A and B are shown apart, each in its own frame.
Chain A
Amino acid sequence: MNAISTAKKLPIPADALGLLAVPLAMLALWVLVTRAQWVPEQLLVSPTKVIEAVGELWEAGELQGHLQNSLRRLFLGFFSGAIFGLIFGVLMGLFKSMEDYCAPLFNAFRQIPSIAFIPMLILIFGIDETFKIIIVAKAAFFPVALGGYDSVRGIPKNYFEVAKVYQCPLWPLIKQVVIPATVPQILTGLRLSLSRSWMVLVAAELMAADSGIGQMMEWGRQMFRMDIVVVGVFITGLIGFALDYGFKWLESRMARWKMG
C-alpha cells in the first residue's frame, strides 16, 4: 500500500496502480518461490538477500565504485561515438559523393555485432579502459550515424522551397530549418545508441574488466554469490531504464511541436 501511495505522487503518466501491477506481481511470485524453496537457494536467492547484498556493497563503497567506473566509460564512449556518428551521418546525408564512397562499407560494418569486436580489441588495446571506451563508442556510432543520415535525407523538399521563396541565407537555413527538422530523428538515434552502448559495456565488463557493474557480476558468479549477480542484473536494468526514460523526456521537450 505504502509503495503505491508514494508512487502516485510521482509524475507518472498513467495511473500508478496499473503501472506497478505487473512488477508487484512478479515480486510476489519471487517471494513465494523462495519462501517455499521450490528452487535451490544457490540458484535463486530471495529478495531479502538481494536487499542485504545491496546494503553490504553500498556500505563497503563497492557499488558506488563500480557504478562510477561503468558510467564514466559509458559517457566517454557514448559521447565520442555519438559525435563522430552524428557528423558522419549528417555529411553522408548532405553529400551524395560521400554517400557513394562510404555507404557500402558503413552498411557492412553495421551488421557486425559490437561484441564480436571484443576479442580483437582486447588483443590490440589490452583489457584497460581504452578497449571498453572504444567498444562503447563503436556501439554508439552506428545508430546515431543512421539517424543523422536518414533525418537529413528525409527533410521534405517543400521546406527548402519555402526557404528559397524568402531568400533564407545558409546559416538561418541550418539553424531554423535543417536542425529543427532533423532533431526528433537524431534524438531517437541518440536514445537507441545510448541504451545499446550500455548493454555492450556491461557485456564487455563481464568478459574483461577489473571494475564496473559487469565485472561485479562476473566476480559474484565466480564466488557463488548469486545475490551480488542479481544486484548487478537489477542495477543494469534500472540504469538502462533511467537512461532511456530520461532521453524520451528530452525528446518530448525538444520536439514539443510534434505532440498532437
Chain B
Amino acid sequence: MGNLIHPDFKRSAKSLSGELSIQSLHKQYRLERNYLNVLENINLTILPGEFVSIVGPSGCGKSTILRLVVGLDSDFQGRILLDGKPITSTSTDRGIVFQDHRLFPWMTVWENIAFALVNSDLPSAEKRDIVSLNIKRVNLTGFANAYPHQLSGGMAQRAAIARALVNEPKILLLDEPLGALDALTRLYLQAELQRIWIQHRSTMIMVTHDVEEALFLGDRVVVMQANPGRIKRVVPVPLEHPRDRSSPLFHRLKDEILADLIDTDSTAEAKRAKSLALRSDLG
C-alpha cells in the first residue's frame, strides 16, 4: 500500500479524459408563482485529473451543480459536457458520494459496494476482485461483512467512497462527503481522499463548507454566492500537494476566501428579498 502514492504528486498523462465543461448553466425552481434562480450563468471548465473544490453559503446551488453533473436532475438550461459529450442522464463514468453515506442498511459493506456493478456485464469473479480491491483502497479490509449500522460515520463514508470508485469513474463528485464527521475523522479522511485522488487519477469536484478543506484538497477553489447562485471567484491554489496547512500562502488564501464568504452572507438576505420581488413579475 505504501508506494501507491505517486512520489512527486504529479498527475500522469495517462488520464486525459475526464474534462468537464459547464457552459452558461442556468437553473430555476418554481416556488408557487415565483421563479427562483438557483443557478445563474455558471461557466466552469475542469481539466482532466483536476481537483476542484466548491465553497459557498447555503442555498448557493453548489450541491445542485453536482446533482446536474451526475445526471440526477436534467431540468436546466445551458450545457454540461464531459469530454465533449453532453450529459443527459446518470452514467457509470460519473460517480458521486453524498453527505449521508446512503449505504443500503440491509446490505453488508461488500454488498453495498458490489451494488455499483449491478448493471455491469463483467463475470462475477471479476466483480469480486474489483469489490475487494476497492475495499482495500479505502482501508476497510476486515469489514466486508459488516452492516452499515455497525460502522462509524467515517467508515460508512469510506464504504460509500469505495462504492463510487468501483466503476472507475472519469469524474468523482463529492457532495460534502465529510460534512457529518467529527473534526479528527475529517482530517484523517481528507488525507485519505487525497491519497485516493492521487492513486485514482480521476477528476474530482468536492462541495464543502470548510474553506480549509477546500484549500487542502483543491487545485482550484470555486467561491459561490447565493440568490441567485453564481460563481463569485475562482481561486487557484499554487501549492504543492500534500499541502502544508501552516504555510503563509495557505493562510492568506483562507482569509481571503472567508472574507468573500462573509461578505456574501451579509448581503444575502437583502438580495433574496430583491430577487423574489424581481422574479415575481415572471410568474
Contact = CB atoms under 8 A, between A and B. Distances in A.
A169 B104 contact: no
Contacts, number: 60
Contacts of B64: none
A172 B118 contact: yes
Given A161-B72, A166-B118, A169-B119, A257 B91 contact: no
A181 B106 contact: yes
A7 B102 CA distance: 43
A172 B149 CA distance: 23
Contacts of A256: 147
A166 B116 contact: yes
A176 B149 contact: no
A180 to B, nearest CB: 4
B250 interface: no
B149 A158 contact: no
Contact of A257 (B116, B119, B147): B147
Nearest to A184: B106
B43 interface: no
A167 B105 contact: no
Contacts of B117: 166
Interface size class of A (residues with CB under 8 A): 20 to 34
A176 B116 CA distance: 12
B107 to A, nearest CB: 8
Contacts of B149: 257-258, 260
A165 B119 contact: no
Which secondary structure dominates chain B's binding surface?
A: loop
Interface residues of B, number: 24
Given A164-B72, A165-B72, A257-B149, A176 B118 contact: yes
A71 interface: no
A177 to B, nearest CB: 7
Task: Specify which of B71, B90, B91 lies most central, judged by the most chain A CB atoms within 10 Å of its CB.
Answer: B90
Contacts of B92: 166-167
Interface in B111-161: 115-119, 147-149
B253 to A, nearest CB: 33
Contacts of B72: 161, 164-165
B180 to A, nearest CB: 14
Nearest to A164: B90
Given A161-B72, A257-B147, A260-B149, A167 B104 contact: no
Contact of B90 (A159, A165, A176, A258): A165
A52 B81 CA distance: 85
A255 interface: yes
A177 B90 CA distance: 18
Contacts of A181: 104, 106
Interface in A135-183: 158-159, 161-169, 172, 176-177, 180-181
Contacts of A159: 102, 104
B214 to A, nearest CB: 24
A152 B148 CA distance: 22
Contacts of A258: 105, 149
A212 to B, nearest CB: 40
Interface in B151-180: 167
A165 B115 CA distance: 11
- Closest 9 pairs (CB-CB, A-B): A180-B106, A167-B119, A257-B106, A168-B118, A257-B147, A260-B149, A166-B116, A172-B118, A165-B90
6 contacts: A159-B104, A162-B102, A163-B118, A165-B72, A166-B115, A180-B104
